[in-house]
Amino acid sequence: MTRVGAVAPALSAAEVAERAREIAASIGSSHGPVVAVGAQTHWEVGGPVPDLEEALVVRAPSGIVAYDPAELTITCGAGTPVAMLDATLAEAGQECPLDPADPAATVGGVLMAGLSGRRRLRWGPLRERLLEARFVTGDGRIVKGGGPTVKNVTGFDVCRLLVGSLGTLGVAVQVTLRCQPRQSVALWTVGPTGVSAADVRRRLFNPSCVASDTQGVHVLFEGHADDIDAELAVSGCTPVVAGPIGPQGPWRGRISVPVTALRAVVDGLDGLDGLDGLGALATSMVPAAGDGVTVAWLAEWGVGTVHVASLSAEGLLAARALAQAHGGWLLREAGRLGPAGPDGAGPSGVGLDDGFGVGLPDPQIQRRLKMAFDPAGRLNPGRIPL
Partner 1 sequence: MDATVPDHRADRSFASPSDAELTRLVADLGVALGPDRARSDPLELALYARDAGVASGRAAAVCFPRTTAEVAAAVQTARRHGRPFLGRGSGTGLAGGATPVDDPVVIVTTQMNRVLEVDVDERFAWVEPGVLNLDLTRAVAHLGLHYAPDPSSQQACSIGGNVATNAGGPHCLLYGTTQAHVLAAEVVLPDGTVTVLGGLSPDQPGYDLRGVFVGSEGTMGIATRIAVRLMPDPPALRTLLLDFTDVDAAAATVSGIIADGLVPAALEMMDADITRMVEDFVGAGYPRDAAAVLLVEVDGLTHGVDDAIEIIRRVGTANGARTVRVAADATERNLLWKGRKSAFGAIARIAPNYYLHDTVVPRTRLVEVLRGVYAIADEQRIKVLNVFHAGDGNLHPLLVFDGREPGVMERVHAAGDAIIELSLSVGGVLSGEHGIGLEKRAYMRSQFSPDDLHVQAGMRDAFDPDGFSNPHKVLPAGSRCGDVQSLPEGVWV
Cβ nearer to partner 1, comparing 36 with 311: 36
Alpha carbon distance 79, 161 (integer Å): 19
Cβ nearer to partner 1, comparing 288 with 334: 334
**Closest approach of partner 1 to the CB of residue 366, in Å:** 5
Cβ nearer to partner 1, comparing 165 with 294: 165
**Closest approach of partner 1 to the CB of residue 358, in Å:** 6
Cβ nearer to partner 1, comparing 311 with 379: 379
The answer to whether 305 and 299 have CB atoms below 8 angstroms apart is yes
Overall residue count recorded for the chain in this entry: 386
The answer to whether 38 and 109 have CB atoms below 8 angstroms apart is yes
Angle at 320 between CA 316 and CA 116, to 5 degrees: 90
Cβ nearer to partner 1, comparing 259 with 282: 259
**Closest approach of partner 1 to the CB of residue 264, in Å:** 13
**Closest approach of partner 1 to the CB of residue 106, in Å:** 20
CA atoms within 13 A on the CB side of 233: 6
Cβ nearer to partner 1, comparing 238 with 260: 260
**Closest approach of partner 1 to the CB of residue 72, in Å:** 6
Alpha carbon distance 109, 165 (integer Å): 10
**Closest approach of partner 1 to the CB of residue 198, in Å:** 6
**Closest approach of partner 1 to the CB of residue 282, in Å:** 28
3-state secondary structure of 143: strand
Alpha carbon distance 151, 100 (integer Å): 25
The answer to whether 356 and 385 have CB atoms below 8 angstroms apart is yes
Cβ nearer to partner 1, comparing 81 with 108: 108
The answer to whether 119 and 207 have CB atoms below 8 angstroms apart is no
SS3 percent helix, strand, coil of the chain, rounded to 5, is 30, 25, 50
Q: What is the 3-state secondary structure (H, E, C) of 335-375?
A: CCCCCCCCCCCCCCCCCCCCCCCCCCCCHHHHHHHHHHHCC
